[in-house]
Structure 1
């Protein structure tokens, strides 16, 4: 198990990490997500032995790796790191790069290990090429093969997909999911893209301003974010101002949005609020649909006036003003264009919303 206990780090008087604690079980993939400057890359540097914490300690399988004023040398830690720019030696062939850390093996053992890793990463045909002669995605596979060559206990990856084009990033998400399942290594993976992390993370850790805002299984975190900031990160980018109303029973809450009431499960409310309090209702645009007038009873319905309709490649993003005076607003994705100024109805499932006390 990789354990971070109360890690803190400051630079020039500015706190970058503030008492961060995290346990990553053996063989699991933990993805740290957050905006630039939140401290996620600092954690990787501390775990890798490239920096020393101001407070707290790092342990791997019960063995101390770092504490204030001391850190086990990076070369003595049973972990390897894949850097954002891959850090491949430009003058060396792919097979030489992958086998660089295997000097303790015989020539035959080293060649066999390198060949097996290249085949595992599906780059066996590139063994004699220089980094400049292969693509970005292939360079990434070389960097990962090199990191795996010495059979580390922990694999560290620092935004390894950030330099790839959109389609290759999507392809590599699936490859990473397969790779991590095959090698069974403990993985600490840093990215700013939560959707990328969700493709293969067992544990998703969301950081903000040097602290862990929320952590857990990706499905749980996306279904029930604990703050409006995390909800926005998880794609709940439709915000509606509302007011909490008295509920009919203990299992539900009622919210007035632009003078229109909706009913939601009590579990949708994150935090404490009482009837009369201002709240923010957040929805994922994909959960909202234009009302087809079916009269179904399994969804909340609102009416509004179309303020804007923008084409976004496949569907239309429609912005609505709700209520007679436009007291609230929302956006949704529609398969068809609607005219600005048109009065339309929308609906969303009862369990699609998350609600936070205002402010």
Structure 2
């Protein structure tokens, strides 16, 4: 592995709990990893520890087979050959784009420096802005200049801390796709921090979900959504709810009884013995619930959010339980209206029933 983090712990003085607590994951050369989680979950602290800006109190960080951090070893940030792209880009306002990019290339002869600046500006699609100053560039262009500057010295690892957070929503996801293409073209290994799921899905090969200093799951986006390892990941990623369920073995078939009816023919369903009495909570995603006027189960529309091609409906069943559903936007039902719904669940994800549920 190119980047290997093992049982990493980072603790700030005066705090009872560590900011990063026993985190382990790895990246292969050329992979893009993303850390995602709510504010204060420890993702930026972890990124700073990889950069060498925070000391490891426990565990280790190995980069290209070199131990750079542990409780007894700390290679200074300037000796790690790591590039960083910050939230505010940190461009020098008095320097044009070319001189901003050339800032970290003073060790090269002038001709090589100029050649490298041209290469990376072309790589990020800004070959025509050499002489333009930051205030003459759009937010997206400034972000790409910052990326070019970080790539110019050919770092072993690139770290990006919420680089799109100052941009509007539509631009963020588009730029995330563009940056992924740039990083792949450069063959760069990168670790990215964001709180935005769409950014994470757009840019990451591997995504880690953090909460209260711990890494709950490090996986591909598909697995995070369809096979969440913990209840927190299931709740944090995507839209969904937990519904009470009862798993029962009926002959050769395992059946999951829910308020939406029985779920059967489940290839990945846990056995009833996994939970006391077979009682559990099942995760129902918004795309597991299908609007069907002929379905026997009816639900009342509590909330609706227009998403262009679809509505996200929040629905209350007659049992009092709540589910969510993606419904094509031409099915424009009124609040309070009762509609038919049924469950189509391809991935059965269950967790122990919460106390008091």
Q: What is the TM-score of this pair, normalised by structure 2? A: 0.89
2:142 to 139, 142, 148: 139
Query: Superposition pairs for residues 277-296 of structure 1, below 5 Å?
Result: 277=279, 279-293=280-294
Measure, in 2, the Cα distance between the counterparts of 1:340 and 1:275.
37
Which digits, 9 at most, give the CA deviation of each residue in 1:53-83, with x for residues without a partner?
Answer: 1112211121121222542121111211111
2:321 to 322, 328, 339: 328
Query: Superposition pairs for residues 173-212 of structure 1, below 5 Å?
Result: 173-212=176-215
Query: Superposition pairs for residues 182-331 of structure 1, below 5 Å?
Result: 182-240=185-243, 242-249=244-251, 252-257=254-259, 260-263=261-264, 265=266, 267-269=268-270, 272-277=274-279, 279-293=280-294, 303-314=297-308, 315-323=310-318, 326-331=319-324
Counterpart residue number, 1:85: 88
Which digits, 9 at most, give the CA deviation of each residue in 1:156-176, with x for residues without a partner?
Answer: 111111111011112112202
Q: Tell me how far 1:317 sits from its aligned partner.
A: 3.6
> Is residue 28 from structure 1 mapped to residue 31 from structure 2 by the alignment?
yes
Moved more, 103-112 or 249-258: 249-258
Conserved 8 A contact 1:204-1:218: yes
Structure 1, unpaired ranges of 5+: 294-300
Counterpart residue number, 1:297: none
> Is residue 102 from structure 1 mapped to residue 105 from structure 2 by the alignment?
yes
Q: What is the TM-score of this pair, normalised by structure 1? A: 0.89
Which digits, 9 at most, give the CA deviation of each residue in 1:286-324, with x for residues without a partner?
Answer: 33221153xxxxxxx66123143535243334333323x
Moved more, 131-140 or 245-254: 245-254
Conserved 8 A contact 1:253-1:266: no
Distance 1:341 1:26, change over 3 A: closer
Conserved 8 A contact 1:90-1:130: yes
Counterpart residue number, 2:351: 356
Measure, in 2, the Cα distance between the counterparts of 1:23 and 1:316.
38
Conserved 8 A contact 2:301-2:338: no
What's the secondary structure of 2:203's corresponding residue?
A: coil
Structure 2, unpaired ranges of 5+: none
Measure, in 2, the Cα distance between the counterparts of 1:235 and 1:167.
18
Q: Tell me how far 1:245 sits from its aligned partner.
A: 4.0
Which digits, 9 at most, give the CA deviation of each residue in 1:73-131, with x for residues without a partner?
Answer: 21111211111111111211111110111112111111111011111111122211221
Total equivalences in the alignment: 347
